[in-house]
Amino acid sequence: MSTAQQQGPLGVELNGINVISESERKGRPRSLFWPWFAANISVLGVSYGSFVLGFGISFWQATIAGLIGIVVSFLLVGFIAVAGKRGSAPTLVLSRAAFGVRGNELPSVVSWMLNVGWEIVLTVLATLATATVFHRLGWSAGDVTKVVAFLVIAALIVGSAVLGFDTIMRLQTVITVVTGVLTVIYFILVADKIHWSTVSAIHPGSAQAFIGAIVFVMTGFGLGWVNTGADYSRYLPRRSSSGGVIWWTTFGSSVAPVFLLGFGLLLAGSSTSLSSSIASDPIGALSTILPTWYLIPFVFVAVLGLVGGAVLDIYSSGLTLLAAGLRAPRWAAALVDGVLMILGTIYVVFFSKNFIGPFQGFLITLGVPISAWCGVMLADILMRRADYAEADLYSPAGRYGSVRWVPVALMVLGSVIGFGLVVNTSASWLKWQGYLLGPFGLGGKAGTWASANLGVIVALVIAFAGWLGMLARGARSAGPGGVPPGTPRPLRSSPYHHAAGEAARASRGPRDRGK
């Protein structure tokens, strides 16, 4: 189907969870820089400086933890993005190759919840930031200001997601340039608020707190995007370099957060009052140290940066909802998510009294099962020699089957063990977590290992090692003649560095090149 045929009235994209046709695959891996940079240029990254220092660690510990957490977690997104280039379908459709067409409904629901949660978080932050700035300017009318700001922001997010991929790519390019410039100006204007003597005097924390900070950063950055990694690379030609896909996804996602977090550590470490204010209004608090004349540009920085992330989230969550079984056009699924985003934002903005506690609970809680899913996907991509069998991704009777019980069981097992190794004391509804810290000799929920939130990493390792072992065993048992039908075969070299072989296969046309 041609590109023209995939555009509906008003330029609405008609592609859903279908495989992108050969004629519509376009661009180069470097084009992935724009959406991923724009989605992560948000000044929320500055607020993470306060969140990370809240683990009781020093500036240098926080800097290293942030660097590791950001780069490693977005590297996982880059690996998942390779599947999009090879399969030309959304992330949670390609996931069916590992979990089965029906079995994939479990990770689809978890992924959808994660995306909707992030949509709400980003919309809430944009609304609160706008209200705070207007209050400082004397233009505030109480809740009326919040309502107006919320409606404008929601319309921009939902409207862009409904229009689809091409609109999003154009919007993200604009957001990248505008927010990049305005953020640099913000750095310059508040640089005098940094007091190195105060920052450098912060005492170091324990190894457990350091690990906990890494895990928190991973869940707040890359692990929050890993379930969408293939949604944008699916539009690339299959001859595109796998290494290029990984590099531009990882680089585009990581470069802004690294600088934003580093600057945030300097600001939060210099002022305990600013750090405390960030807990209740993570974006608005950053405006309190600005000169009045820059408040309006700051609104653009804050809102555009958050909108950039929310647009990708709502676009991907619509695709995930379709992958979970909703029978509707893609734009209608995006509207459904938009309604839920609106309802969730109304609750948090007008009825919730605290932000950071529920936010941390949300990140860690959904970070556990999504890490387990990621482990299965990474193993499946690593062992997959051929491209996906396109038709079988949509049929329970195909080679991927209805339910592949081992990956499903590994995701459940990883989640059960993972939940037992994480805690969140700020959210009362999560007190049931951490039930394995005592039995495993880690000091219980009040012990020093409680803040490490090891469950996120453990869930990923269990799922990855378990599925990798099963696939390798299946390949060995098949002998030199091949592998059992539906079982991915191990690569002779990493799937992320064999673009030449893939280019040769792609040149034979878009026909089914399944395992």
The predicted-structure confidence for 24-76, as pLDDT tens digits, reads as follows: 888 899 999 988 988 888 888 999 999 999 999 999 999 999 999 999 999 99
Q: What is the CA radius of gyration of the chain?
A: 22
Question: What pLDDT, on a 0 to 100 scale, did the predictor assign at position 509?
Answer: 37
The answer to whether position 512 is within a domain reads no
Strand partners of residue 7: 13
Predicted model pTM: 0.82
* Both tokens assigned to 210: 């350091």
The answer to whether position 514 is within a domain reads no
Tell me the per-residue pLDDT of 135-167, one tens digit each, with 9 for 90 and over: 888 876 567 777 888 888 888 888 776 776 677
The answer to whether position 515 is within a domain reads no
* Percent of the chain scoring above 90 in pLDDT: 44
The answer to whether position 100 is within a domain reads yes
Question: What pLDDT, on a 0 to 100 scale, did the predictor assign at position 329?
Answer: 81
Q: Which domain holds residue 478?
A: 4-506
User: Is the per-residue pLDDT at 16 higher than 50?
Assistant: yes
User: CB under 8 Å to 384, separation ≥6 — which residues?
Assistant: 86, 97, 488, 489, 491, 495, 515
| HSE of 390, CA atoms in CB hemisphere, 13 A | 17
User: Is the per-residue pLDDT at 511 higher than 60?
Assistant: no
Instruction: Give mean pLDDT, residues 460-474.
Output: 93
Phi/psi for 152 (5° steps) reads: -65, -45
d(CA 338, CA 344): 10
Provide the domain count of the chain: 1
The answer to whether position 269 is within a domain reads yes
Amino acid at 15: N
User: Is the per-residue pLDDT at 500 higher than 80?
Assistant: no
The CATH number that applies at residue 127 is 1.10.4160.10
Residue 470 buriedness (CB in 10 A; 0-12 / 13-18 / 19+): middle
The answer to whether position 511 is within a domain reads no
Instruction: Give mean pLDDT, residues 360-377.
Output: 88
Question: What pLDDT, on a 0 to 100 scale, did the predictor assign at position 486?
Answer: 46
d(CA 458, CA 461): 5
Residue 9 buriedness (CB in 10 A; 0-12 / 13-18 / 19+): exposed
Confidence of residue 115 (pLDDT cuts 50, 70, 90): confident
* Both tokens assigned to 222: 């890359």
How far CA 75 is from CA of 70, 165, 194, 465, in Å, comes to 8, 23, 31, 18
Q: How many residues does the chain have?
A: 515
Confidence of residue 490 (pLDDT cuts 50, 70, 90): very low
Amino acid at 271: S
The answer to whether position 491 is within a domain reads yes
The answer to whether position 497 is within a domain reads yes
User: Is the per-residue pLDDT at 306 higher than 80?
Assistant: yes
* Percent of the chain scoring above 70 in pLDDT: 85
